C-alpha cells in the first residue's frame, strides 16, 4: 500500500515537500517564470497547464530541468485571473495578469505629480497608492490599507533600512551639536584671514564650501552668511557669492565619503540591486561611482578656474562688472539681508566659535568609519578562511552600515563631551541641540522610506521588465548613462529635488541597466562599467537640478544666505550649470561608457571648460 501511494505521488510529480514558485503579478505579453524545486529524483518532466477562471485551457508548457529545479518561461496575452496546474494537480495560488502599461503608471504619477504640485512626498505617496490599487484588484480601500501595513511597514522592518535611518538621524545629531556650539562657524572663520583681495576672497569662499562638506544645508547657511560681509568689502557680487555657495553645497555633499547624503544614496543603491537579486556591497558601489560623477566634480573644479582666469560670461559677467563699478551692491541695498545664521535655531554661539569643535567630531566620523570598515571587512574575510587580501577586498566584504553607525554614534558622544567640558552649553542645551539636528533629518527619513516603498511597488509590478521589453531592442547599453543623466537632470530641475529624483529613478535604472546589458551579451566587466555609469548619472543628474532649479531648497537658501535676489541668482548661475553639464555629457558620460578612463574625461572637461571660458568669457576687471 505504501509503495502504491508513493507511485501516485511520483506520477503526479507533487510531493508534500515540493516547492512551486509562481509570481503573484504577471504582465501581459511579458515572459514570467514558473520554478519547481524539491521534486523526486525520478521525475524527468513536468507539464504545466494554465486555466482561465471558467476552466478553459489557455496554454500548456513543458518545464525544462535545470540542475536542482524545473523551470520555464511563459507568456500570457490577456489580462485576468488564471489557475496553474502542475502534472495534473491544481495549485491554489492564482496568477493575476494585468496590462503591462499599468506597471509604469506608479512611477509616472510620482514624476508628473511632483512636476505639477512641487510636492515630492505627496507624489511618492500617490505613486505608491496607484501601485497598490493595481496590485489589489482595483479596490481603493484595500489599496489604502496596503500602503501603510505592507509597503511602508516592510520598508521599515528591513535591518539594513533601519541601520541607514539610524545613521542618518545620528549624523543629523552631530550636525546639530557642532552647528549649535559654533563649531561649523569656527571652521569657516579659519579662512577669513586669507581673504585680502577679490581673488583670495573668492578662493576663501570656495574653500569654505569644500571644508564644510558634511551637509549641504549647513554649508549653504554658514558660508553664505559668514562670507557675505567680507565679499561685500571686496566688491564681489552677491550673485557670484550665491553661485559659489550653491555650487559647493549639494555637489560636495553628494560625492564626499562622509556626509548627510551618504546613507540615502547607499540605501537607494542597495535597494536597486535587491531588485535584480544581487547582494553586492552597496557602499563599495557608491565608492566606484564617485569618479564617474562628472557634473558635481567638474562644477567644483570650474569655480577655481573662473577665479584664476578672472573671467565670467553671460549675466554673471554683468553682475560682477556692476559690483566693481558701482560698489557693492547698490541693487541689493533695498532688500533685507535675511541673516539666517542668526535667526535659525540650528545655529548659535558664534561668539564662542572654535574650529576644533567642528573638526574633531567630523574626524571621529571619518576615521571611525574607516576603522569600522577595516574591522568588519577583515573579520568577514577571516571567517571565510581568506588570508590573502588587500584594501579592496576588505572594503568589499565590510559591513558599511555598522561602521557608519558606530562612527556617527561615537561622534555624537565626543561632540557632547567637548561642548560640556568647555561649558559652551549645559546638558539640557546639548540634548536640545542634538535633538534639533535629528529633527532636521526627519524629512530625509520620511522621503527615504517612501522611496523604498515605491521601489517595492515597481518591483512587484515588474516595471523594469515592461520598460525593458519596450526599449531593449532599440537602445544600446552604452548610451544609457548619458540618457539617464538627461532624464534625471530634467526631472530634478523641474521638481527642485535631488533626493526625490533619486528615489523615483534608482529602482528603475538599476534593473533596466542590468537587463539591457545582459540582453546585449556584454562581458561582466563591461556590464559593471555601464551599471556604474548609469548609477552615477542618476546621482549626478539629480544634483544638477538641486544646484540650479529655481524651486530647489538649496538654491533658495543660497540666495537668502547670500543676500542675493533669487531670480538674479538663478539667472546668473544657470548658464554655468548648463555649460558644465553639456561638457560632462559629451566628454564624460558618453566616452566612459565605451571604456574611456574617467580620470582622463575629468581632465578633458576641465581643460575644455577653461578653453570655453577663454573664448566666450571676458575679464571681469577689464
Helix, strand, or coil (residue 258): coil
Beta carbons within 8 Å of 99's beta carbon, 6+ residues apart: 27, 28, 79
The closest of 384, 137, 160 to 273, measured between CA atoms, is: 160
pLDDT tens digits, residue range 398-425? 777 788 788 888 988 998 898 888 888 8
Query: What pLDDT, on a 0 to 100 scale, did the predictor assign at position 580?
Result: 95
Task: List all residues 6 or more positions away from 239 whose beta carbon is below 8 Å from its beta carbon.
Answer: 315, 316, 319, 320, 564, 568, 569, 572, 573
Please, what's the b/e burial string for 81-94 (b: 16 or more CB within 10 A of its CB; e: otherwise)?
ebbbebbeeebeee
* Strand stretches in 547-617, DSSP E: none
12 band by pLDDT with thresholds 50, 70 and 90: very low
Whole-number pLDDT of residue 90: 75
Domains of the chain with CATH codes: 2-98 (2.60.40.10), 102-153 (no CATH), 161-462+471-619 (no CATH)
Give the CA dihedral 138, 141, 144, 145, nearest 10 degrees. -120
Higher pLDDT: 141 or 100? It is 141
User: Does residue 579 surpass a pLDDT of 90?
Assistant: yes
What is the reported pTM? 0.67
Instruction: Give the count of alpha carbons within 13 A of 423, CB side only.
Output: 0
Q: What is the pLDDT of residue 602?
A: 95
Share of the chain above pLDDT 70, in %: 85
Query: Is a pLDDT exceeding 80 seen at residue 177?
Result: yes
**Grid coordinates representing 85?**
496546474
**Beta 89-98 vs 25-27: how paired, if at all?**
parallel
Select the more confidently predicted residue: 107 or 149.
Answer: 149
| Largest separation between any pair of C-alpha atoms in the chain | 105
Considering 86-95, 216-225, 248-257, the range whose residues carry the highest mean pLDDT is: 248-257
At 5 the three-state DSSP class reads helix
- Tell me: pLDDT of 229 over 90: no
**Percent above pLDDT 90 for the chain:** 18
Predicted local confidence at residue 250, as pLDDT: 83
pLDDT band at 601 (very low <50, low <70, confident <90, very high): very high
- pLDDT (tens digit per residue) in 450-462: 877 887 887 788 7
pLDDT class of 588 with cuts at 50, 70, 90: very high
Give the highest mean pLDDT range of 163-172, 219-228, 252-261, 313-322.
313-322
Query: What tens digit of pLDDT does each residue of 469-480 get?
Result: 776 667 788 999
Amino acid at each position: 500500500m505504501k509503495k502504491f501511494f508513493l507511485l501516485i505521488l511520483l506520477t503526479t510529480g507533487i510531493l508534500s515537500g515540493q516547492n512551486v514558485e509562481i509570481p503573484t503579478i504577471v504582465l501581459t505579453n511579458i515572459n514570467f517564470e514558473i520554478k519547481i524545486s524539491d521534486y523526486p529524483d525520478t521525475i524527468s518532466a513536468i507539464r504545466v497547464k494554465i486555466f482561465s477562471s471558467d476552466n478553459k485551457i489557455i496554454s500548456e508548457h513543458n518545464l525544462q530541468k535545470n540542475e536542482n529545479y524545473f523551470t520555464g518561461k511563459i507568456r500570457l496575452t490577456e489580462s485576468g485571473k488564471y489557475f496553474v496546474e502542475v502534472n495534473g494537480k491544481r495549485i491554489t495560488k492564482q496568477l493575476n495578469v494585468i496590462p503591462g502599461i499599468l506597471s509604469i503608471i506608479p512611477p509616472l504619477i510620482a514624476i508628473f505629480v511632483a512636476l505639477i504640485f512641487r510636492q515630492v512626498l505627496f507624489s511618492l505617496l500617490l505613486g505608491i497608492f496607484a501601485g497598490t490599487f493595481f496590485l489589489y484588484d482595483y479596490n481603493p480601500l484595500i489599496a489604502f490599507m496596503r500602503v501603510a501595513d505592507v509597503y511602508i511597514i516592510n520598508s521599515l522592518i528591513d535591518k539594513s533600512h533601519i541601520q541607514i535611518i539610524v545613521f542618518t538621524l545620528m549624523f543629523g545629531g552631530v550636525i546639530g551639536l557642532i552647528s549649535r556650539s559654533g563649531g561649523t562657524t569656527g571652521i569657516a572663520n579659519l579662512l577669513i584671514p586669507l581673504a585680502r583681495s577679490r581673488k583670495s576672497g573668492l578662493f576663501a569662499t570656495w574653500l569654505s564650501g569644500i571644508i564644510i562638506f558634511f551637509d549641504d544645508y549647513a554649508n549653504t547657511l554658514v558660508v553664505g552668511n559668514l562670507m557675505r560681509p567680507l565679499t561685500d568689502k571686496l566688491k564681489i557680487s552677491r550673485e557670484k557669492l550665491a553661485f559659489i555657495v550653491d555650487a559647493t553645497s549639494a555637489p560636495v555633499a553628494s560625492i564626499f565619503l562622509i556626509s548627510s547624503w551618504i546613507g540615502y544614496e547607499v540605501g537607494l543603491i542597495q535597494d536597486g540591486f535587491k531588485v535584480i537579486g544581487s547582494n553586492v556591497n552597496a557602499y563599495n558601489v557608491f565608492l566606484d561611482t564617485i569618479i564617474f560623477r562628472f557634473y558635481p566634480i567638474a562644477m567644483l573644479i570650474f569655480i577655481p578656474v573662473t577665479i584664476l582666469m578672472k573671467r565670467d560670461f553671460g549675466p554673471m559677467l554683468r553682475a560682477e562688472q556692476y559690483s566693481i563699478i558701482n560698489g557693492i551692491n547698490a541693487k541689493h541695498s533695498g532688500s533685507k539681508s535675511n541673516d539666517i545664521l542668526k535667526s535659525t535655531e540650528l545655529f548659535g554661539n558664534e561668539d564662542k566659535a572654535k574650529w576644533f569643535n567642528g573638526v574633531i567630531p567630523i574626524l571621529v566620523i571619518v576615521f571611525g568609519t574607516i576603522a569600522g570598515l577595516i574591522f568588519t571587512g577583515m573579520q568577514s574575510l577571516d571567517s571565510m578562511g581568506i588570508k590573502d587580501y588587500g584594501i579592496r577586498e576588505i572594503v568589499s566584504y565590510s559591513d558599511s552600515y555598522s561602521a557608519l553607525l558606530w562612527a556617527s554614534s561615537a561622534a555624537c558622544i565626543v561632540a557632547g563631551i567637548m561642548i560640556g567640558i568647555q561649558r559652551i552649553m549645559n546638558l539640557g542645551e546639548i540634548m536640545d541641540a542634538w535633538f534639533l539636528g535629528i529633527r532636521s533629518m526627519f524629512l530625509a527619513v520620511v522621503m527615504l522610506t517612501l522611496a523604498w516603498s515605491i521601489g517595492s511597488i515597481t518591483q512587484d509590478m515588474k516595471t523594469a521588465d515592461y520598460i525593458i521589453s519596450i526599449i531593449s531592442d532599440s537602445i544600446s547599453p552604452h548610451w544609457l548613462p548619458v540618457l539617464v543623466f538627461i532624464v534625471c537632470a530634467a526631472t530634478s530641475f523641474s521638481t527642485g529635488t535631488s533626493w526625490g529624483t533619486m528615489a523615483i529613478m534608482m529602482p528603475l535604472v538599476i534593473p533596466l541597466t542590468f537587463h539591457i546589458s545582459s540582453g546585449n551579451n556584454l562581458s561582466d566587466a563591461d556590464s559593471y562599467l555601464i551599471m556604474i555609469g548609469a548609477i552615477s548619472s542618476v546621482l549626478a543628474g539629480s544634483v544638477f537640478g538641486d544646484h540650479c532649479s529655481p524651486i530647489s531648497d538649496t538654491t533658495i537658501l543660497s540666495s537668502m544666505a547670500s543676500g542675493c535676489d533669487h531670480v538674479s541668482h538663478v539667472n546668473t548661475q544657470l548658464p554655468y550649470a548648463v555649460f558644465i553639464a553639456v561638457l560632462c555629457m559629451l566628454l564624460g558620460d558618453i566616452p566612459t561608457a565605451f571604456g574611456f578612463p574617467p580620470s582622463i574625461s575629468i581632465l578633458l572637461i576641465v581643460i575644455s571648460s577653461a578653453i570655453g571660458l577663454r573664448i566666450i568669457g571676458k575679464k571681469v576687471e577689464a
